[in-house]
């Protein structure tokens, strides 16, 4: 009898933890999220069933348009559900994500470097020297004598 009470207490504790979990809350409250999860599951199941028909999977991946559509739909639904869950988690925790800050900084740096190289000849020379080594200056002296064309 004591074992049954312990199991019931554990189950109650787990239910309470699940009840106040931000992810579970979001799934319970958000109809769109639930439909994205269902769509992802159904598309994944359909894609798996098409791949399990005995034909070559690699051939099917390239040739079967229905399979490609199912895989694309599953990926989009999973992405949308993941984004919704992340947003819910951030809202509940009071956090704001700094999305793409590093990516933006990298793109800005590449654009700035491109403009600098396009405008500044000394910058181009420095980069070329760094990549391919410094140009060696040399004088060209001919070993043949300039003749008068007589052939002697």
**Between these two residues, 151 and 112, which has the higher pLDDT value?**
112
For 10-67, what is each residue's pLDDT tens digit?
888 888 877 777 777 778 888 888 888 888 888 888 888 887 877 877 788 888 888 8
Tell me: pLDDT of 149 over 60: no
For 58-99, what is each residue's pLDDT tens digit?
788 888 888 888 888 888 888 888 888 887 767 666 655 555
> What confidence score (pLDDT) does residue 150 get?
55
Tell me: pLDDT of 115 over 80: no
Task: Residue 87: name the closest of 20, 23, 18, 17 by CA.
Answer: 23
Tell me: pLDDT of 2 over 70: no
> What confidence score (pLDDT) does residue 89 get?
67
> What confidence score (pLDDT) does residue 48 get?
84
CA distance 66 to 60: 10
Alpha-carbon distances of 12 from 18, 56, 107, rounded to whole Å: 10, 49, 51
Mean pLDDT of the chain: 78
CA distance 61 to 66: 10
> What confidence score (pLDDT) does residue 97 get?
52
């Amino acid at each position: 009898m004591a074992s049954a009470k312990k199991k019931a207490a554990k189950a109650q504790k787990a239910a309470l933890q699940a009840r106040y979990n931000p992810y579970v809350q979001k799934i319970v409250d958000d109809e769109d999220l639930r439909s994205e999860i269902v769509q992802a599951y159904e598309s994944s199941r359909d894609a798996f069933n098409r791949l399990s028909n005995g034909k070559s999977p690699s051939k099917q991946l390239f040739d079967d348009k229905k399979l490609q559509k199912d895989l694309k739909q599953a990926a989009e639904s999973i992405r949308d559900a993941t984004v919704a869950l992340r947003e819910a988690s951030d809202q509940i925790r009071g956090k704001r994500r700094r999305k793409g800050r590093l990516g933006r900084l990298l793109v800005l740096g590449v654009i700035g470097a491109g403009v600098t190289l396009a405008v500044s000849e000394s910058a181009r020379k420095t980069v070329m020297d760094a990549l391919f080594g410094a140009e060696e200056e040399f004088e060209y002296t001919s070993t043949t004598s300039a003749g008068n064309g007589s052939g002697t």
